Amino acid sequence: MIILTPAVFVADQLSKLAVERWMPLGQRIPIIPGLFDLVHYRNTGAAFGIFSGMADSIRVPFFYIVAIVALVLLALFYRSLRDRDVLLSVALSLIFGGIAGNIADRIRLGSVIDFLSFHIGDSVVNTNILGKHIYFPLEWPAFNIADSAITIAMALLFYSVLLGRKGVNE
C-alpha cells in the first residue's frame, strides 16, 4: 500500500492545480448537464463547510493540529497492522493521502480547493414547515479527490467493522 498514499496525494494536488490554473474562482462548467459540473470553490472550513465561520485565529491552528494528530495516529496504527490486514491498510493509506492533500492546500492557500459538484438539475427545496421557510438547492457540497479518498476509506472501514473483519484474508 506504500504507493497508494502518494498516488492519492499527487492525483489530488495535480487536479487542484489544474482547476486553479484553468478555472476562475466561482466558475461552473457543466460536464453532465443537470447532474455533474466542474466548479472552482474554496472551502475554509471542514466537510460541508463546517467551521468556515470560525475566526481565523482559532480555525487555522485547529485544522493544523487536528491534521497533525490524525496523521501521527494513523501512522502509528498503520505500523501495528499485520501484512494480511489489506483492507485496513488500503483504508488508512486513502485517509493519509486525503488528509495530506487537503492540508497541503491549507498550507499553500489557507483554504481547500473543491471542484466536483453533483446536483439534481437546478432543483431546490422551497417550502414552509411548521412556519419555518426552508430553501436549499438539491446539490451535494463540492468536494475533491482527497475528500473522495477519505470517503471511500470510511466506507471500507465501515464494511470491515460491519463484517467483523480486520483484513481481506482473515
| Active-site residue, from 12, 85, 105, 147 | 147
Catalytic residue, candidates 12, 37, 85, 114: 114
147 is a catalytic site residue:
yes
DSSP 3-state assignment of 139? strand
Residue 122 is a catalytic residue: no
What pLDDT digit, counting tens, does each position of 54-107 carry?
Answer: 777 888 888 889 889 988 998 888 888 777 788 889 999 999 999 999 999 999
Whether the CB-CB separation of 11 and 3 falls below 8 Å is answered with: no
Please tell me the distance from the alpha carbon of residue 42 to that of residue 20, in angstroms, as a whole number.
10
pLDDT over threshold 50, residue 168: no
- Which residues make Cβ contacts (< 8 Å) with residue 129, sequence separation at least 6? none
Supply the pLDDT for residue 80: 82
For the stretch 74-81, contacts whose Cβ atoms lie closer than 8 Å and that sit 24 or more positions apart, written own/partner, are 74/99
The larger pLDDT score, comparing residue 168 to residue 116, is at: 116
Q: Where are the domains of the chain?
A: 4-159
Instruction: Note the pLDDT of residue 1.
Output: 60
Tell me, what's the pLDDT at 170?
A: 47
- Can you read off the three cell numbers belonging to residue 140? 451535494
pTM: 0.82
